[in-house]
Structure formats: structure tokens, C-alpha cells
Amino acid sequence: MKILITGAGGFIGRNLLSALNEIKLGHDQREDHAICDPSELTLYAYDINNDLNELNQCCADCDFVFNLAGVNRPKDNSEFMKGNFGFANTLLEMLKAHGNTCPVMFASSIQASLKGRYAGSEYGKSKKAGEELFFEYSRQTGAPVFVYRFPNVFGKWCRPNYNSAIATFCYNIANDLPIHVNDPSVEMDVVYIDDIIEEMIRALQGKANRQPDGYCVVPVHYHTTLGFIADTIRSFPKLRETLGVPQLDDELTRKLYATYLSYLPPSKFIYDLKMHCDSRGSFTEILRTADRGQFSVNISRPGITKGNHWHHSKNEKFVVVHGEALIQLRRIGRQQDGSPYPVEQFRVSGDHLQVVEMIPGYTHNIVNLSQSEDLVTLIWADEPFDASKPDTFFQEV
């Protein structure tokens, strides 16, 4: 299969080209992404710097066209019609000249509705003209067309301070620059780039989400407000201070966070953690979550024993990732005959990763069996440590 992508250097084009290239290389082998034999997949990338002769050659034998090329911030409004309608017309005429009736996708915009705040939009008018051109082309040639009216699109590689509020907010906040929100109540329909790419792959497979009116849609999109988006993105830098994570159960927040991270400068790829150190080693929190517990790293010096405490309700999971350890647990209290409960012992090593559960009502410890190497243990606790309610009581195992 030979796929032509116009506007391949743009935001959506780059993401689509990257995704298809992973399929071509055989790196993406998901069944729902199967298009053809990867060895038979050819990608034609066309952008503004390419010659029209190259476009004509691609139109001669391509099997599918994604027309993502377009103009959205020209110096003169007259360029809207030339760059959107005009290029679309050139593309379709080339396909006609070669008798190529392969499926063609057209990236339109919600502004083409020319309703509400989009009434009178010159950009919208040019996209509307492009839509009508594609539908007429289908009627004349019988070629399948897929016309999508994208709302506000966000995700990695979107150009900030251009025509995307989300890209601008993410870039500015990631780089310690101010953002301006004139009216936080403004309602927005937004769609994430990965969800667009998923739909584009479905279109390639002949499974596009076509509506009764002839338009195609990306089924996953979000209705929100400008204020929610701004407040959510503003909250992300603070997570490093609290060791928190965003509300990942909320799909829009999760996707906004991924977008925000893509705008971080390299100097912010790394940040310090607070290590609690003493003669025994160190204890360092990595993440704190409101409802998924706390993740930490414990380092024990050679021969050191840590712990010897128990919890009423708090529970933990220990995973030794380096070194050898003896983990011991003993139920507190005594048996009916007055004797202590037996000590349960587990010898674990970073060479064979295992989880050892710290059970409520059992005092426990961890012993570094090495006399020369540090012991490194990853610990998950079901709740962040609270000094006012530690639920931690000393008792030797």
C-alpha cells in the first residue's frame, strides 16, 4: 500500500507519519493497527517545500491520500482560499488526470460550520469550500472521501503561540512564562492527537466513523472550558513539589499532562528528590498519590537491619532490586500457650525480583545480608506517610 500524506511536516502530519512509520518498520504489531504487510507499505511525505512535480508523481500510484495540508495563519486573508481550497483542487485534479480513484481524506475544521463564533470566518469559508470540493469529487469519480471537521487539536509537536491555546499554555507554563485567560467560561471542544491518529488508521482499514450526513468524526473528544484547561495545566509544575501525579483517571487530564511534558525544556527533564539519610542508609519518597499510595526507595548499608515495627492498617509491598536481604515478619501478641508467634522469613535478591507483603498486625524488618554492598528496595505503601497519624509502632521481630 502506498500512502500519500500532504502537510507531512505539520502537527498532525508529523504524528501520522511517525505512527505509520512504526507500522512500516514492524515495531507496531498491534492487530487493530494492521494495514498491510509492512514490507509493502510505502509512505510519500509531501509538504510546502516539495515541488508540485513530486506531488504529481505520488498521485499517479498512491493507494490512499491524507490531505492534511492547509493554511491557518496567513499574512493576508486571501491566502486562506488559495492555500486550503486551491491546494485541495490541485491535488484532486492530479488524481483525476491519472485516473486514480483511491480513497482521499480531507482535514477540515469545526470553523467550516460557519456558526456561532465561527460565522464569517475566512478560514472557515476556505475549509467549507474544500469540503464541498471533495464531496463533489466523490460524486464525479466514485472515489471514497473522508471529510473530518476537527475541533481544537492538542498534543505533542503542536506549535505554541500560534493557533492552539493548549499548546501555548503548555509551552508557557513549562517554560515559566505567563499565560492569559480573558474568559475562563469559554466552552471548547478538543481532540487529542493520538485519538486522531487512531481514527486515521481506521480510515485506512475502511473502518472510518462516518456519520449519516457524510462527514466522518473522531469518536473520542472532550467538551470543556478554557478555564478548566488553564487551571489543570497550571497545576502540573506543583506536582514535583508534592511528589504528586495528575488525576490520571480523568482521560482529558492525562492527555493534557502528556502534552505539557512534551514542552518541558531539557533542563527540566531531571529534578531532585529529598533523601532522608542516616548512618543506616537512606529513605527517599518518589511519588505520593491521594488514592494509590506512596512509592519510595530504601537503601540499607551493609549488615544493617531496618524496620522492626508494625501497622494496624497500613500495608506495604517490598521489592529488593539490588543486593540480598532477609525479610522477617512476626504476628504481634502471643499464641494461646503464651509463646510468641513464629517468625516468617523470606530470603530475597535483586537477581530474582519478588514481592513480599508487609501484613497489618505483623511486625517486620529487612536485613541487608551483604557485608560489602548496599541493599536497594522499592517500597509501595497504601497511603502516604502522615506524621500526625503514622500508624507505625516499634516492636522487635
From 46, 123, 148, 263, active-site residue: 123
Grid cell locating 323: 543486593
Rounded Cα distance between 38 and 197, Å, is: 18
SS3 392: coil
Distance of CA 140 to the CA centre of its chain: 41
Q: Is 263 a catalytic residue?
A: no
User: Dihedral angle at the C-alpha atoms of 134, 139, 141, 142, nearest 10 degrees?
Assistant: 100
Contacts of 233 (CB under 8 A, 6+ apart): 166, 169, 170, 173, 179, 256, 260
Give dist(CA 367, CA 375) in Å, integer: 9
Q: Which helix (H) or strand (E) holds 252?
A: helix 251-261
Instruction: Choose among 377, 382, 384, 383: nearest CA to 356.
Output: 377
∠ Cα 317 323 326 (to 5°): 60
What contacts 24+ positions apart, CB below 8 Å, involve 234-243? 234/173, 234/179, 236/173, 236/260, 237/173, 237/174, 240/271, 242/288, 243/273, 243/285, 243/286, 243/287, 243/288
Strands 375-381 and 294-300: antiparallel
Pick from 69, 165, 166, 164: nearest CA to 126? 69
Distances in Å between the Cα of 115 and the Cα atoms of 103, 112, 119, 263, 389 are 29, 8, 5, 33, 57
Q: Which residues are known catalytic residues?
A: 123
